[in-house]
Amino acid sequence: MRKTSFAIIGAGKVGNIFAANLYQCGYKLVGVASRTPASAAALAEHFGVPWSVNPLDIVRKAEVVFITTSDRYIENVVRQIAFSDGWCKGQYVYHSSGALFTDVLIAAKEQGAHIGALHPLQSFAGTKGKKNYLSGVYFAVDGDTQAIELAKTMVRDMGGHSFFVPPDKRALYHAAACIASNYLVVLVHNAVNLFQKFGLSGEEATTALLPLLQGTLDNLANKGAEKALTGPIVRGDVHTVAAHLQALDLTDDDIEKLYRQMGLYTLRLVQQINSLEEPQIEILRKMLTDKNGGRYE
């Protein structure tokens, strides 16, 4: 079966990944547009296709157009192309935002295009142009019926998995993704800062923590979140939690606050899995809630 032709608007990390992985699957890249000439040229020349800083120059050549710019530019790009009657009837137009609805593409729909959202649930730091990177990845899809069906086909061809996120749950979906990815990085950064206080460099601390993180991810994959949870709160080890709080109180007030909030959420999970008796939970809750009156001696 003939694969559809496609164009990329936005030659950053996501645009590069989409181009490399779709091209590898037999889809024909016909053009690249980007605000930055250097990035557009670099991606286009890699595949031997035309490039431009004006999206109107490349969209009419493609059956499918991926808008992989930053979220704040998507609607303006679509409207600018529509202003010059640039969208074609029967064309497919997708954005790759995890948070935005498909209504930012409405100007393309008004000119007869099918519109959709195709967001890979993956981090793209340091992955520019990497092949096979989307294999096994889950994609949140949305759009009109035709756009969703084609999106599912492209995802399947790239070795990924698709799932539907309704418009009214889009922000919730993206918030969950940020918690799992962005905030994990923030948590590790906090741990690295603490390691540096007893002599390790940031690089050494990160290297030391990576096996622990990988082990945790393996446990999540093999056991699920509830059974993967370990640590002093799960065990009801109040003496250890007290020592943590005391050390953090003397070291970093912001990280102590974060520890308390994460600890309280951990207690909610502990209650769900019934790993502690209620009196132990109450002692830990008081310790984590009341900085002055909740110390355990």
Q: Could you report the per-residue pLDDT of 18-52, keeping only the tens digit for each?
A: 999 999 999 999 999 999 999 999 999 999 999 99
Q: How far apart are CA 9 and CA 11, in angstroms?
A: 6
Query: What pLDDT was estimated at residue 292?
Result: 67
296 neighbors 281 (Cβ within 8 angstroms): no
Query: What pLDDT was estimated at residue 125?
Result: 74
Quote the percentage of the chain above a pLDDT of 70: 96
Question: Which two three-digit tokens encode residue 83?
Answer: 């202003």
Q: What is the pLDDT of residues 155-200, one digit of tens each?
A: 999 999 999 998 899 999 999 999 999 999 999 999 999 999 999 9
Q: How far apart are CA 247 and CA 254, in angstroms?
A: 13
Using pLDDT thresholds of 50, 70 and 90, give the confidence band for residue 17.
very high
Question: Which two three-digit tokens encode residue 122?
Answer: 């993956």
In one-letter notation, the amino acid at residue 184 is L
Q: What is the pLDDT of residues 209-261, one digit of tens each?
A: 999 999 999 999 999 988 999 999 999 999 999 999 999 999 888 999 999 99
Using pLDDT thresholds of 50, 70 and 90, give the confidence band for residue 131.
low
Question: Which two three-digit tokens encode residue 280?
Answer: 């132990």
Give the chain as a 3 state SS string.
CCCCEEEEECCCHHHHHHHHHHHHCCCEEEEEECCCHHHHHHHHHHHCCCEECCCHHHHCCCCEEEECCCHHHHHHHHHHHHHCCCCCCCCEEEECCCCCCHHHHHHHHCCCCEEEEEEECCCCCCCCCCCCCCCCCEEEEEECHHHHHHHHHHHHHCCCEEEECCHHHHHHHHHHHHHHCHHHHHHHHHHHHHHHCCCCCHHHHHHHHHHHHHHHHHHHHHHCHHHHCCCHHHHCCHHHHHHHHHHHHCCCHHHHHHHHHHHHHHHHHHHHHCCCCHHHHHHHHHHHHCCCCCCCC
Q: How far apart are CA 209 and CA 166, in angstroms?
A: 37
Record the pTM: 0.88
Question: Which two three-digit tokens encode residue 198?
Answer: 């007893």
**Number of residues in the chain:** 297
Q: What is the pLDDT of residues 54-80, one digit of tens each?
A: 999 999 999 999 999 999 999 999 999
Q: How far apart are CA 94 and CA 105, in angstroms?
A: 8
Q: What is the mean pLDDT of residues 279-295?
A: 83
DSSP β-ladder status, 138-143 and 64-67: unpaired
Q: What is the mean pLDDT of residues 108-135?
A: 85
Using pLDDT thresholds of 50, 70 and 90, give the confidence band for residue 296.
low
Q: How far apart are CA 241 and CA 261, in angstroms?
A: 13
